Structure formats: C-alpha cells, structure tokens
C-alpha cells in the first residue's frame, strides 16, 4: 500500500502465568520466538516502521523482533497500567505521523498479514478505528462486538453484557488499526476511570464515535488471533501452527504418510514430490528439494538435501550437512558439516563429520571420520568412486583419493592416493586349539568363584 504505516507491538508482559524466567514472547513456536512470528506478519502488510513496547528481557525481545526491511525501535514500559497505557509508551513513534497505526500483541504468533491488510483497507476507505474480531462457539470471557448499520458501536465486556449480548459470538481479538492522523488525540483521551484503574484500548471505540468518527470491525479466523498465556496454550498454538504448515506443504505437492507425526520449523522448505514418512523432526534451516524421501524417525537440522536423495530411517543430519542429488544417508547414520556427493552412499551406522564424500563413493557400515583431536576439528576428504570398508576409522586430517579402497577394519592416519588400496590393521593370526584353552580356563574360573560363595 502507498499509505505509511507504523505497527505498535505490545510485548512487555511479565510471563507470570508462563511460570518462566524468560519473557513470554520469547518462547518459541516452530523453533522461532512468538514475537518473531508477529513481526513477520506485520512486515508483510507493507509496514515501514515498528515500535516494540518491551518490559523484561528487553534486549532479547528487541533482537527477536528485528526484521529485514522495516525500522524497529524499542520503547520501555516501566509500569503495567492497561493496553491503552502500553500503546502510549510508543507515543514518540506515533507522533512522527503515519497514515495508519496497527496495534498487535507479541503473544499472538499465528496471526497472518490478512487481518491487518483488511483493517488497513478499511482505514483507506475512511474508517477512524478498525477492530479485528473473530467468531467463536465459545465466546465466554471475551468482549463482544456490537454492530449496528455496518458500524461498531461498542465492545461490551462479558461482565457488563446483557443476556442477549452474551449470545453474540463475534468477539474482540485485541488487534486494532487506527487512523494515524487522529491516533494520539484518541489515545490521550483514554481514562482510567474503572474498577481496576487501568487504561483500556477498547475505549477507543466510544472515543472515536463521540468525536464523530467511523468505527468498523473486520473478521479474522479464531486460530489466527489466539493468544498465549501459559505452557498449555503454548502447546496448543504449536499444534495449530504445525497443522497449518503441514497442510500448506501437502497441498503444494509433498506427501506425508502420517502428517500428525511430522514436526516442522518455521523455515522448513520441502519440494514437490518429496515423501516424508512418520516421526520425522525438522529443526531450523532445512531445505529439502524435490523427489526426496525422508524415512521414518529421522532428525534434520540446518541441512540441504538435494533432489532425489534418500535419508534414513533413523538418520540424523546436523547443521552443514549437504546431500547431493541421488545420494543416500541410511539408518543410524549421522552427518555434520559435510557434503555427500552425487550418488554416494552412507548406508549404515556411520558418522561423517567435517568431511566431503565424492560422487558415487561408498562408505561402509560402522565407518567414522575422527574429526576432533580434543581441541580442534579437522577435515576428511574422500574422493569420487572411493570405497571405504566397514568399521574403518579415518583420522583427520586425511584424504582418500579418487577410486581408492580402504580395507575393512582399518585405522587410516595417512593420505591414500587415488586408485590405491590401504590397510590400517594388524595382520591376522590363527592359533589352533587356543579358543578351547581360553574357554576351559574361563569356565574353571567361574566354577571356582561359585564354589567360594
């Protein structure tokens, strides 16, 4: 929109009901602080500036509230005297002069840009105040929106509502948009003449109407405007976020056998025709390209899996893992800060860390890259078409050349040239009848111990 806009985000709550030493708005949904979700939503409405009203953990909240493309300024609310008082903590920002003012809350992480865009559209059409409401079949406890002739005439709190008004199912979400040219005038008229002695933002409805202004309401889905007050509600919001994102991915062409068991992060990207089996967890920073299969019970974070690759079951990809097209990381394998080349296979019980594996190489079961010397990490480089036998230890820094073979059970401490065969183990010896002697001696020792008791 061509209209200038300031978003005022209220994020100064004390987290009392969360029973937490951390600000409520810093608690994560899908691996991202709640406040970050809200900021992303308002940023996508064309907001140019944002005012964060902060309290405890002010520095952390400000950091989590930073978003590319908009200027964010923090304002400290030292007292808690109601929502109207909280908005006025950002008075200096509001006074700069904007066409539109949006008011949002840092603990409403499922909100999208649509309700804000709808509210701004009403401001552009001449409304002075726009309240964002929601319909619910459980309205108890919420303020009801009273509408006549297409205008909002009041927000009636339940304790003050008549029996008929309590039947209304359109409720106040707390989110609001205000004509920026009149915002300070309206806000400064809010009084604390009520039982709690607090300044209520909802009073703007009557204040604007008394000044001859037009007040309207727009609708939002109930789930989008759900707030969070305690850990139980946090879990509900997480569930709702996951359901929404899973649905978006499946509609876009991703298959999930048991979607309710797949957990995504806020930035998880999965390409068309990929298959996600049950009980897969995605941490932040994951990109899955098209045609990938993620088998059951895998955990992926900070990784890039290219087209046609296969992961799992029971695999772990840690940050920096990069799987090329057609590669495979199989069961009980872990990859960290390593590239697995095109068509390469890391099939069983293997750790590949701080390494590169060339195209079409095969890493045998039980192989590990020994990348840590107790102080520093070191790199292992494995060329294309190499074969590393099972139960091998590659002590970094070390290189395995193209087409080289490493014999099973080897400990490799020196570079292996291309096309070479490397043994890093003691020569096998066979002692005839020695097993019988060892077994008889062990049995005699066991019998002696038993007799001694």
Q: What is the pLDDT of residues 389-417, one digit of tens each?
A: 999 999 999 999 999 999 999 999 999 99
- Of 135, 348, 360, 378, catalytic: 348
pLDDT of 4 higher than 90: yes
**Mean pLDDT, to the nearest integer, of 356-381?**
96
Tens digits of residue pLDDT in 282-328 = 999 999 999 999 999 999 999 999 999 999 999 999 999 999 999 99
Strands (E), 125-248: 129-135, 144-148, 151-156, 170-179, 215-219
SS3 111: coil
Burial of 240 (0-12, 13-18, 19+ CB in 10 A): middle
CA distance 27 to 39: 14
SS3 21: coil
pLDDT of amino acid 44: 92
**Mean pLDDT, to the nearest integer, of 228-237?**
95
pTM: 0.90
CA distance 224 to 237: 9
Percent of the chain at pLDDT above 90? Answer: 86
Rounded CA Rg of the chain = 31
Burial of 386 (0-12, 13-18, 19+ CB in 10 A): buried
Is there a contact between 354 and 373 (Cβ–Cβ < 8 Å)?
Answer: no
CA count, 13 A, side-chain hemisphere, 385: 6
CB atoms within 10 A of CB 410: 21
CA distance 85 to 95: 15
Instruction: Let me know if 247 is a catalytic residue.
Output: no
pLDDT of amino acid 134: 97
CB-based burial, 63-85: b 16+ in 10 Å, e otherwise: ebbebeebebebbebeeebbbbb
231-422, what's its fold? UDP N-Acetylglucosamine Acyltransferase; domain 1 (2.160.10)
pLDDT band (50, 70, 90) for residue 1: low
Q: Are strands 345-348 and 362-363 parallel, antiparallel or unpaired?
A: parallel
**Mean pLDDT, to the nearest integer, of 379-384?**
98
**Mean pLDDT, to the nearest integer, of 255-261?**
98
What is the phi/psi pair of residue 430, to 5°?
-120, 125
Tens digits of residue pLDDT in 129-165 = 999 999 999 999 899 999 998 999 999 888 888 889 9
Tens digits of residue pLDDT in 87-126 = 999 999 999 999 999 999 999 999 999 999 999 999 999 9
pLDDT of amino acid 161: 86
5-225, what's its fold? Spore Coat Polysaccharide Biosynthesis Protein SpsA; Chain A (3.90.550)
Q: Which two tokens stand for residue 49?
A: 């500036």
Least confident of 79-88, 330-339, 403-412: 79-88
Lookup result for tokens 């309206």: 186
Is there a contact between 380 and 364 (Cβ–Cβ < 8 Å)?
Answer: no
pLDDT of amino acid 196: 80
CA distance 96 to 340: 54
DSSP 445: H
CB atoms within 10 A of CB 321: 26
Per domain, the residue ranges of the chain are: 5-225, 231-422
Q: Are strands 316-317 and 334-340 parallel, antiparallel or unpaired?
A: parallel
DSSP 171-206: EEEEEEEEETTTHHHHHTT----STT----GGGHHH
pLDDT band (50, 70, 90) for residue 198: confident
SS3 124: helix
**Average pLDDT, whole number, for the chain?**
94
CA distance 321 to 184: 52
CB atoms within 10 A of CB 305: 28
pLDDT of amino acid 95: 95
């Amino acid at each position: 929109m061509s209209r200038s806009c300031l978003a005022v985000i209220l994020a100064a709550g004390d987290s009392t009901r969360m029973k937490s030493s951390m600000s409520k708005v810093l608690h994560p949904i899908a691996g991202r602080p709640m406040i970050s979700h809200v900021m992303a939503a308002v940023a996508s409405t064309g907001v140019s500036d944002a005012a964060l009203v902060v309290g405890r953990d002010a520095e952390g909240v400000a950091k989590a509230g930073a978003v590319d493309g908009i200027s964010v300024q923090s304002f400290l609310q030292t007292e808690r005297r109601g929502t109207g008082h909280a908005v006025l903590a950002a008075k200096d920002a509001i006074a700069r002069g904007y066409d539109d003012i949006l008011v949002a809350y840092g603990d409403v992480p499922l909100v999208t840009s649509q309700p804000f865009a709808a509210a701004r559209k009403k401001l552009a059409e001449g409304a002075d105040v726009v309240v964002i409401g929601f319909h619910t079949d459980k309205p108890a406890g919420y303020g009801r929106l009273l509408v006549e002739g297409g205008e909002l005439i009041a927000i009636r709190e339940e304790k003050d509502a008549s029996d008929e008004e309590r039947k209304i199912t359109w409720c106040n979400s707390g989110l609001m948009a205000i004509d920026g040219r009149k915002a300070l005038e309206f806000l400064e008229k809010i009084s604390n003449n009520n039982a709690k002695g607090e300044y209520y933002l909802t009073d703007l409805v009557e204040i604007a109407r008394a000044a001859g202004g037009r007040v309207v309401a727009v609708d939002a889905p109930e789930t989008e405007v759900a707030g969070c007050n305690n850990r139980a509600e946090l879990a509900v919001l997480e569930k709702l976020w996951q359901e929404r994102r899973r649905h978006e991915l499946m509609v876009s062409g991703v298959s999930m056998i048991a979607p309710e068991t797949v957990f995504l992060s806020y930035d998880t990207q999965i390409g068309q025709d990929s298959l996600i089996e049950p009980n897969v967890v995605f941490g932040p920073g994951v990109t899955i390209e098209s045609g990938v299969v993620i088998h059951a019970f895998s955990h992926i974070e900070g990784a890039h899996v290219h087209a046609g690759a296969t992961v799992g079951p029971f695999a772990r990809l840690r940050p920096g893992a990069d799987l090329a097209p057609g590669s495979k990381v199989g069961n009980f394998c872990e990859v960290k800060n390593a590239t697995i080349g095109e068509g390469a296979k890391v099939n069983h019980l293997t750790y590949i860390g701080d390494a590169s594996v060339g195209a079409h190489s095969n890493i045998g079961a039980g192989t590990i890259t020994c990348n840590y010397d107790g102080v520093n990490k070191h790199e292992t480089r494995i060329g294309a078409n190499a074969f590393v036998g099972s139960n091998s230890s590659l002590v970094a820094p070390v290189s395995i050349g193209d087409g080289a073979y490493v014999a099973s059970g080897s400990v490799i401490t020196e570079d292996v040239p291309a096309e070479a065969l490397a043994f890093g183990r003691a020569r096998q010896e066979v002692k005839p009848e020695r097993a019988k002697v060892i077994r008889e001696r062990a049995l005699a020792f066991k019998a002696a111990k038993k007799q001694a008791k």
